[in-house]
Structure 1
């Protein structure tokens, strides 16, 4: 069993096929093994050792993968950092994760990271040599990816690589829900690689796959679902730092991509221009908007793979190219082997009967090993389950259905409203592209509010009338905000919907005197 990154790269060392491809660069497995081994010696010379926490601020591409895997080979702990972070957020995450060394590009999409850090920390010399900062006491070095020391002692790097154990920390990944402060989630080599391995078959990834994935590598969807998935399967990963419909279509066609696992709205946007590119290499398991109509499944027939950073990606799913039983349509599939899922009452914390909605708790080999600066007893139950904060139910056959977040549910006139159920109902209405639902405080209690991305012809009156046909009366929104583009949806730095800002937008719609 391959349970460390070094052993994984060593196994792939003789392969001449492409490992990672971006719009301007590509690297084979053989080159990746050789170049990461060489780069690892540079990191050792620079003072990086086993257990050193190293932050990485870089866009998707061959360079990101080469740098990250070189660090992981020698047992350094990778801390992928969002390229979207504001200076204060970046400083906070560097501090929380105890980052000792930082590798950062100068600029990406208008963000000048070192300039911003210099201003935030009042440290004009940052990046010009060793540092000692009061606000970041652990930080010792800041490097540009091209400014690392020359290669050093290969024997020391090899010895460090040989000492890495599956139980050693691999990565700290920051995550947050729709609200709340981002937290640094810790995974070991064994838990991360095991989680990815368990999801390969449900995601239809094998050695012949040419996988397109635009998700940033600082998210588990990009790092685990992309980089580590390709390496474990021996597949080819195709990615790009700034996806646009034109660049993505050219990349899909040029690289004969067989599996598209990007964002659904990205796939829908590409589908509207797909006549300009040859996408015939795509196969089932890809997002269906890009597949010929004959290859598309009925609504709800394919599982929505479900997971989180704390489980290092999906812990529940079903083969993406296969219909589930009719009774399971709309579900997330079944928990993967070894992962235990139980449903507990939100208030009493006691397990509930089959079919009843409650909070999902998970336990198994792919769950996080900890959260930065939090004690184990703060994170897990006494019997080792991780309370996810997600709502769901399990049916009699073990299929899991998702119902939203515990901190999103609310009551209207004493009845519980799950935003995900209201969103699902609204999305079935004609001319609706997307819906985002939350509670909106009012004089007599919470109301149901919805931001709906829809055609210009739709009005709030028409939506209200149509929603009454698919939702119980108390679930029908009484506060509407209509948008013509998904760009209007407020999102945080992790890409998730920012519920607090959404609620403020809906509240503003009511205080302006009308919903719109």
Structure 2
């Protein structure tokens, strides 16, 4: 690679940072600290172990672990050898685990056995019928036909899993790939190779799998770091899980600057603040629970205003406070590798640009079209945003490109925006069925399907409600099944085995069939549905009301 050119693959980017910042802290955990040199050695050992196991360019690797040393080591190792790695949600219930492992074609699964209240040994056996009956040899599962092995940090008593340490030991065998072979493998990783898959709720009931390539992994994080004023001197704590795009982007931004990642042992606010204080965190990346985190920090006597991201006032390059209405409301998505329209966080918006998301990021192309005709609309008019180029995803995994992109290569986002003559985008709404809550996308159709599968539910309708902390919250109107009297708490409890926690409705009201707001052609009017949910109190239905409503 021409030394004047920026890195275009992860192996190139990682090697540059290790060479420049080798002895600096790369990762701080509650019980360990790794320098960039040590992280290089750990990920190299994992990479050689994967090569010794038959993995290589294009291999499919699943990663089920919370933010920490195992996650970072395995993720970086997979990227170094050109494999396609899929971080799996640690919140996923067994049906969602099964769906992700199967549809991602994972050949090898690396993960932890326990995290918070989850026992993944139990949840994986529930997710994958036949798993508990097999041995640790090559797996043969009809529900996950490509999966051949599972490696957990604790495999004691599990005949179908092996310890991660045994996987790593393969790198130390006499005939294992050595450092020279790993370097040769890394040189064959190209900017056009696919790098990772992130699952996000789609416009259908099933989550969609967004694929990003090596070029985006290497080129987008350094650009985003400049927008967020992230430097090599920062100690950054991302509180967005690394199975979401926001968490992946944050970790890679820190890497691209040679800064330090700080991960708490759990998302518990007390654990978070312990790490903030002990390790002098300078930057917290958090989009949810910010108000609670800030209040708890202030109660402890922590200078929350001195830690970026903790809710203190934003300041421009001169140190003057920027009013919230004059800050850019960054607009992005998993498909665009975080923000596609933004301004640096220390930039005061010009006159007439209040409320704007900003201009195009890192060479991405944007156009606004009429949602009905697909014709491009004049500057300043509202239409559907379409994206092309830059760090846009390479596609949706296993979905024909013709179903994802327009014939000329643009991706229809379902976002309604207007872009003025100066290139500033203003968000206006969404065309589809998406709900964005705490930076995560939720398909209302997926939530409706889970509710409708419950015996107490005759019909459910899901809509977003605005929320100052989360952006939007998931809410539902439910027609009870005849003779039943469901409660909000009861339905939420029943959904825990079917949906990730962030997808479970925060508000559920009970209605009759005749209450459903519909158009003359029978379609549900979502805006009116949201108003209906907001206007309803919280009385629980009686069995009689449920029966009459369903009849």
State the TM-score, normalized to the length of structure 2: 0.74
Contact 2:305 2:313 (8 Å CA) reproduced: no
| Separation in structure 2 between the aligned mates of residue 440 and residue 20 of structure 1, nearest angstrom | 45
Matches within 5 A, 1:128-147: 128-144=136-152, 145-147=164-166
| Separation in structure 1 between the aligned mates of residue 506 and residue 299 of structure 2, nearest angstrom | 36
Q: CA deviation at 1:212?
A: 1.6
Q: CA deviation at 1:440?
A: 7.0
In the alignment, what sits opposite 1:4? Answer: 9
Contact 1:268 1:289 (8 Å CA) reproduced: no
Matches within 5 A, 1:13-412: 13-14=18-19, 15-120=22-127, 121-125=129-133, 128-144=136-152, 145-150=164-169, 151=171, 152-154=176-178, 155-177=180-202, 180-224=205-249, 226-279=250-303, 282=306, 286-289=309-312, 297-408=322-433
Contact 1:185 1:309 (8 Å CA) reproduced: yes
| Separation in structure 1 between the aligned mates of residue 473 and residue 143 of structure 2, nearest angstrom | 38
Q: CA deviation at 1:168?
A: 0.9
Deviations 1:112-170 (A, max 9, x none): 22322223312214572321112211111111133414112214333222211111111
State the TM-score, normalized to the length of structure 1: 0.79
Q: CA deviation at 1:230?
A: 1.1
| Separation in structure 1 between the aligned mates of residue 362 and residue 314 of structure 2, nearest angstrom | 30
Q: CA deviation at 1:28?
A: 0.9
Listed as ranges, the gaps of 5+ residues in structure 2 are 1-5, 153-163, 435-462, 480-487, 517-531, 538-551
Structure 1 residues 33 and 149: CA distance shift in structure 2, 3 A: closer
Structure 1 residues 290 and 218: CA distance shift in structure 2, 3 A: farther
| Separation in structure 2 between the aligned mates of residue 100 and residue 194 of structure 1, nearest angstrom | 28
Structure 1 SS opposite 2:266: coil
In the alignment, what sits opposite 1:447? Answer: none
| Separation in structure 1 between the aligned mates of residue 476 and residue 378 of structure 2, nearest angstrom | 28
Contact 2:137 2:149 (8 Å CA) reproduced: yes
Q: CA deviation at 1:493?
A: 6.1
Structure 1 residues 407 and 162: CA distance shift in structure 2, 3 A: same
Q: CA deviation at 1:290?
A: 7.9
Q: Indicate the larger mover: 304-313 or 237-246.
A: 237-246
Listed as ranges, the gaps of 5+ residues in structure 1 are 410-418, 443-481
Q: CA deviation at 1:353?
A: 2.1
- Aligned-residue Cα RMSD (Å) equals 3.5
Contact 1:304 1:317 (8 Å CA) reproduced: yes
